[in-house]
């Protein structure tokens, strides 16, 4: 499988290195838009594009994948509602895996959250805390939003992003972002009840876990029909 990497940052470099080391995979090219690179300039045609770049590159990705009938694995976060709709339109033509987080642990955590929240919601307050390195631009993280959606599948809570001032807590889920140092990624969902606290936490030790998941998603697209898929589809069918 020939894989093109869109994004020349730290995540793109880790992914490119793993592709070159993995049997059955070949790096079609690493495209760095910040250096003026484009997907059209790839030396060889890709079987799939994995995007770890910036929302500004969605147009380039869509044009290339539509023209080449090439599946896409989208790992970029921070999209607007309009851009998310555009990803849905792209998925009508090609297989697209779109997830805020590609680690196995986080996606297992998401499933656990969706299953236990209905059992705890009447007696426990829910808070989400995420931590990332000081170069991450979007806050809260796409993963925190994904976990929030898993905890509030019926849209029954007010979503409070950070707190300031004086206010009484209502039926709400608080989401809090920390940025500093070289934290690869840490997400905690806290269930705080009367005299007991349950915390479900995931800590990323390196960027390799995201690259590994993205490669698994790339393999999934090889036999997939056009459509919009999540990592749950990749992992659990």
Give the active site residues: 132, 136
Instruction: State the Cα–Cα distance between residues 192 and 133, nearest whole angstrom.
Output: 27
How far apart, in Å, are the Cα atoms of 191 and each of 59, 87, 126, 196? 40, 33, 5, 9
Neighbours of 125 (CB within 10 A): 16
CA 203 to chain centre: 15
Instruction: State the Cα–Cα distance between residues 237 and 229, nearest whole angstrom.
Output: 10
CA 125 to chain centre: 26
Instruction: State the Cα–Cα distance between residues 218 and 227, nearest whole angstrom.
Output: 14
- What pairs with residue 5 in β-bridges? 30, 50
């Amino acid at each position: 499988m020939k894989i093109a990497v869109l994004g020349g940052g730290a995540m793109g470099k880790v992914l490119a290195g793993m592709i070159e080391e993995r049997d059955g995979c070949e790096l079609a090219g690493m495209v760095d838009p910040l250096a003026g690179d484009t997907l059209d300039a790839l030396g060889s045609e890709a079987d799939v594009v994995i995007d770890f770049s910036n929302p500004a590159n969605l147009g380039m990705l869509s044009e290339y994948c539509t023209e080449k009938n090439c599946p896409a694995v989208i790992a970029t976060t921070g999209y607007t509602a309009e851009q998310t709709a555009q990803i849905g339109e792209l998925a009508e033509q090609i297989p697209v895996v779109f997830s805020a987080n590609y680690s196995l642990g986080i996606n297992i955590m998401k499933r656990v959250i969706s299953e236990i929240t209905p059992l705890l919601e009447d007696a426990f307050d829910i808070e989400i805390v995420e931590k990332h390195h000081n170069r991450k631009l979007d806050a809260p993280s796409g993963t925190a939003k994904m976990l929030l959606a898993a905890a509030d599948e019926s849209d029954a809570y007010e979503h409070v992003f950070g707190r300031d001032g004086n206010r009484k807590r209502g039926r709400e889920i608080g989401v809090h972002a920390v940025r500093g140092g070289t934290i690869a990624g840490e997400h905690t969902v806290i269930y705080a009840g009367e005299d007991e606290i349950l915390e479900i936490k995931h800590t990323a030790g390196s960027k390799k876990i995201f690259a590994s998941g993205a490669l698994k998603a790339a393999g999934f697209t090889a036999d997939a029909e056009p459509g919009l898929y999540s990592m749950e589809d990749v992992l659990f069918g």
